[in-house]
Amino acid sequence: MWFDTHAHLYLLLDLAESALPDRVTIERELSPILQKAKEEGVRGIICPGIDRSTSELAITIADLFPSFVWAAVGIHPNSASQGTEEDWDVITQLATHPKVVAIGETGLDWFRNYTPRDQQVTWFRRHIELSRHVNKPLIVHCRDAEDDMTAILHEVAVSGKCIGVMHACAARWETVEQWLDFGMFVSFAGSVTFSNKKHLFVRETACRVPLERLLIETDCPFLVPEPLRGRTSVCLPSNIALTGTFLAKLRNVPVPDLAQVTSANAATLFQLG
């Protein structure tokens, strides 16, 4: 049974700017998608928010699909420029909600210019402090910011282990090895299946992460794995088995064993009992 540690399920909904979907609409639209995931061997999903409204939606989804979907709350670095103090107050309140098992999605994104870098760092540090305050792990986004990310995590690790996951990892082993030393788990998404040369180093990293710190995800609706890449533009939680099976073969591990271990790792990290 697979565990999808990162799926933005609310992005599968029709999110009108004027109003968020109600519970009836959410349940109607997501039920067949999540039923398909269960049929493909998915035992659980973490749904992380990227701002105030989607964090609230993530909790609603987790409430509608108990013991199958859990929420994380946070403000994504690409959303941070639009974040307000009121938004952060709401996030800190939501962080203690019983359906919330992690803080994020947070982190650094030097690839896009949606939020000034210094502002991203400030918001990331806020999430780190909140994570420690509520004793829930971080879900960390890092794109083209490996050096600065490593410096911040090193600073944090001085006062104790960093508890969380580097999601959709696309970093080289030399960097990931340091993240592991700081205490982080590492998750791989559909990009590990990509065959173009610029992604091959991700496979090397995926082979070297210790099994007990390894997680997998879809990053739904992004990062469609091979062989579906190019055939569809939307990655679904049911596609996790494609990434998991690829990773198992890459590491020369039986597929059921990888599914069991990564699911157990998710239960451990997110304190699911």
DSSP state letters, 169-225: ----HHHHHHHHHHT-EEEE-GGGG--SGGGHHHHHHHHHS-GGGEEE---BTS-PP
Q: Which residues of 44-68 are buried (b: 16+ CB within 10 A; e: fewer)?
A: bbbbbbbbbebbbbbbbbbebbeeb
Instruction: Give the whole-number percent of the chain exceeding pLDDT 90.
Output: 92
Task: Using the predicted structure, report yes or no on whether residue 15 has a pLDDT greater than 90.
Answer: no
Lowest mean pLDDT, pick from 9-13, 26-30, 65-69, 155-159: 155-159
Residue-wise pLDDT tens digits, 237-270: 999 999 999 999 999 999 999 999 999 999 999 9
pLDDT at 18: 56
Measure the CA–CA gap between 112 and 97, rounded to whole angstroms. Answer: 31
Instruction: Give the whole-number percent of the chain exceeding pLDDT 70.
Output: 99
pLDDT at 110: 97
Task: Using the predicted structure, report yes or no on whether residue 231 has a pLDDT greater than 60.
Answer: yes
> Would you say how long the chain is, in residues?
273
CA 126 to chain centre: 18
Residue-wise pLDDT tens digits, 56-98: 999 999 999 999 999 999 999 999 999 999 999 999 999 999 9
pLDDT at 203: 95
Lowest mean pLDDT, pick from 82-96, 191-205, 219-233: 191-205
Residue-wise pLDDT tens digits, 25-63: 999 999 999 999 999 999 999 999 999 999 999 999 999
- For CA atoms 24, 27, 29, 32, give the dihedral sign: negative
CA distances from 192 to 5, 174, 242, 245, 265 (A): 15, 17, 11, 11, 19
- For CA atoms 142, 146, 151, 154, give the dihedral sign: positive
pLDDT at 16: 63
pLDDT at 14: 81
Q: What is the set of domains in the chain, with CATH numbers?
A: 2-269 (3.20.20.140)
Measure the CA–CA gap between 62 and 76, rounded to whole angstroms. Answer: 19
Task: Using the predicted structure, report yes or no on whether residue 150 has a pLDDT greater than 90.
Answer: yes
pLDDT at 230: 87
Pair type for strands 2-4 and 42-48: parallel
CA distances from 212 to 169, 184, 185, 188, 207 (A): 16, 11, 9, 14, 12
Measure the CA–CA gap between 127 and 95, rounded to whole angstroms. Answer: 10
